[in-house]
């Protein structure tokens, strides 16, 4: 089951026939109380479907933590039951399931829904875009959340930021990358906008489910793969199947997860439970980055000291070349429809200011600390 769960959860863009049969049972109506009592006395039983295996480290533990918090804060008036990928609906049907009310909530990544609107990708990860701190600030204080609300309202959904992994690693490679030429013909598992960037530079982005990455690397059916960061990567044993571990994760600098709520379910909640759900999403958003930061710190030590992993930096000219193409790719997404254009304009303006400020604050501080 574990292998199937991981396959289900994390093969972005791969929705195999096998997965289509994973839909779980459709449970009964979720409001257990009658209409004759006030909303404040009602008990709400919500389903939360996710794109992750149940309790998958970091990504899957976040919605569990959210559910526990909400149940406790509401004194049991709003009970949230979490379903792993494939338990109720397959990993990549979370969006649809929440939209149509099969579940009241979902936890996933917005970039999985680029088929609905390419603009969704701006709410997860933009190559050379915002990092975790900046994404959270853009969403909550820079106008991003309002744009996300507007986009998702068209799909009968209310979104919330649902955690961040921080900047990811560039990935595991069995070929040294010394110039842009080395990307030509590179078969690499890399989803989303990052994959499109690789393609423009002559590489072959391929879709491989998470659970098959180790074998794909080991047998040479792929030359490289990105995954998340030291914590999740070590758990998959990728260091045993690849020679080099490259940084930095230019393609996903602050990958942000999402909670979605069915709009009718949301509107039916009394104000106190709405406030509880919103605060719990924020606490969860914070907690995921807290957890990834601590676990990645520790896992990097193990990878280097216990497993002898060689960590290499992508050369500057490779990064510069990727950056140039990434801006073109993002601009093309922005041009694909008016709402994508509006969202990217807001994102880009924020990114320009954030880059200028962080150059003299966070970035300069990291530099100073090395001295």
Q: Closest approach of Cβ 213 to a copy of itself, in Å?
A: 20
Q: Choose one: 135-143, 185-193, 216-224, 329-337; the region binding a copy of itself (CB under 8 A).
A: 135-143
Gap between the Cα atoms of 112 and 267, Å rounded = 25
- Window 262-291: residues binding a copy of itself (CB under 8 A): 270-272, 275-276, 278-280, 282-283, 285-287, 289-291
* DSSP line for 345-359: HHHHHHHHHHHHHHH
List the interface residues with a copy of itself, window 149-208 (CB under 8 A).
Answer: 166-167, 169
Count residues binding a copy of itself (CB under 8 A).
79
User: Closer to a copy of itself at the Cβ: 20 or 331?
Assistant: 331
Interaction pattern, residues 337-366, with a copy of itself; x per rule: CB under 8 A = -------------x--xxxxxxxxxxxxxx
Q: Which of residues 2-21 bind a copy of itself (CB under 8 A)?
A: none
Q: Which is nearer to a copy of itself, 108 or 296 (CB)?
A: 296
Task: Give the chain's radius of gyration (CA, Å).
Answer: 21
Assess contact for 329 and 261: CB atoms under 8 A.
no
Q: How far is the CB of 179 from a copy of itself (least distance, A)?
A: 14
Residues 20-59 that bind a copy of itself (CB under 8 A): 40
Contact window for a copy of itself (CB under 8 A) among 30-38, 67-75, 96-104, 217-225: 67-75
Give the shortest CB-135-to-a copy of itself separation in angstroms. 10
Token pair, residue 84, equals 């792993």
The piece of 97-105, 151-159, 259-267, 316-324 that touches a copy of itself (CB under 8 A) is 316-324
Q: Does 301 sit near a copy of itself (CB under 8 A)?
A: yes
Restricting to residues 69-108, which ones interact with a copy of itself according to CB under 8 A?
69, 72-75
In the bound state with a copy of itself, the residue whose beta carbon lies nearer, of 95 and 123, is 123
Q: Which is nearer to a copy of itself, 16 or 41 (CB)?
A: 41
Instruction: Round to whole Å and give the CA distance between 362 and 327.
Output: 23
Residues 6+ apart with CB under 8 A from 178: 315, 318
Cis bond leading into 248, ω under 30°? yes
Which of 134, 160, 135 has the alpha carbon at shortest distance from 149? 160
Write the DSSP string, 289-357: HHHHHHHHHHHHHHHHHTT-PEEEEPPHHHHHHHHHHHHHHHHHHHTTSHHHHHHHHHHHHHHHHHHHH
**Is 176:182 a contact under the CB 8 Å cutoff?**
yes
Distance CA 272, CA 62 (A): 22
Q: CA-to-CA distance for 121 and 118, rounded, in angstroms? A: 6
Among 215, 323, 337, 338, binds a copy of itself (CB under 8 A): 323
310-313 and 244-247: which strand pairing?
parallel
Residue ranges in 208-247 that form contacts with a copy of itself under rule CB under 8 A: 229-230, 247
Q: Does 319 bind a copy of itself (CB under 8 A)?
A: yes
Tokens 């497993």 correspond to what residue?
307
């Amino acid at each position: 089951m574990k292998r199937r769960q991981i396959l289900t959860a994390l093969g972005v863009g791969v929705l195999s026939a096998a997965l289509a049969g994973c839909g779980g049972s459709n449970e009964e109506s979720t409001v257990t109380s009658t209409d004759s009592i006030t909303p404040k006395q009602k008990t709400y039983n919500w389903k939360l479907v996710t794109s992750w295996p149940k309790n998958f480290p970091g990504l899957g533990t976040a919605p569990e933590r959210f559910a526990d918090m909400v149940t406790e804060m509401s004194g049991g008036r709003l009970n949230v039951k979490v379903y792993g990928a494939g338990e109720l609906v397959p990993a990549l049907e979370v969006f649809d399931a929440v939209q149509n009310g099969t579940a009241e909530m979902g936890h996933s990544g917005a970039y999985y829904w680029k088929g609905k609107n390419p603009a969704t990708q701006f709410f997860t990860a933009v190559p050379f875009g915002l990092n975790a701190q900046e994404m959270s600030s853009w969403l909550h204080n820079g106008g991003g959340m309002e744009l996300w609300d507007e986009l998702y309202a068209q799909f009968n959904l209310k979104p919330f930021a649902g955690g961040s992994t921080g900047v990811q690693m560039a990935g595991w490679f069995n070929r040294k990358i010394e110039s842009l030429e080395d990307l030509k013909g590179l078969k690499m598992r890399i989803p989303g906008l990052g994959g499109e960037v690789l393609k423009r530079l002559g590489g072959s982005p391929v879709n491989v489910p998470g659970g098959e990455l180790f074998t794909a690397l080991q047998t040479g059916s792929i030359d490289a793969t990105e995954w998340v960061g030291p914590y999740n990567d070590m758990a998959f044993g990728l260091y045993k199947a690849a020679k080099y571990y490259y940084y930095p994760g230019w393609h996903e600098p602050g990958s942000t997860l999402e909670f979605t709520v069915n709009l009718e379910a949301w509107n039916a909640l009394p104000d106190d439970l709405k406030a509880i759900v919103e605060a719990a999403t924020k606490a969860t958003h914070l907690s995921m980055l807290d957890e990834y930061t601590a676990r990645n710190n520790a896992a990097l030590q193990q990878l280097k000291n216990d497993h002898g992993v060689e960590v290499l930096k992508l050369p500057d000219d490779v990064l510069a070349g990727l950056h140039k193409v990434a801006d073109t790719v993002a601009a093309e997404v922005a041009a694909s429809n008016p709402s994508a254009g509006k969202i990217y304009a807001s994102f880009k303006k924020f990114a320009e200011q954030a880059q200028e400020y962080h150059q003299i604050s966070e970035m300069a501080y990291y530099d100073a600390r090395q001295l």
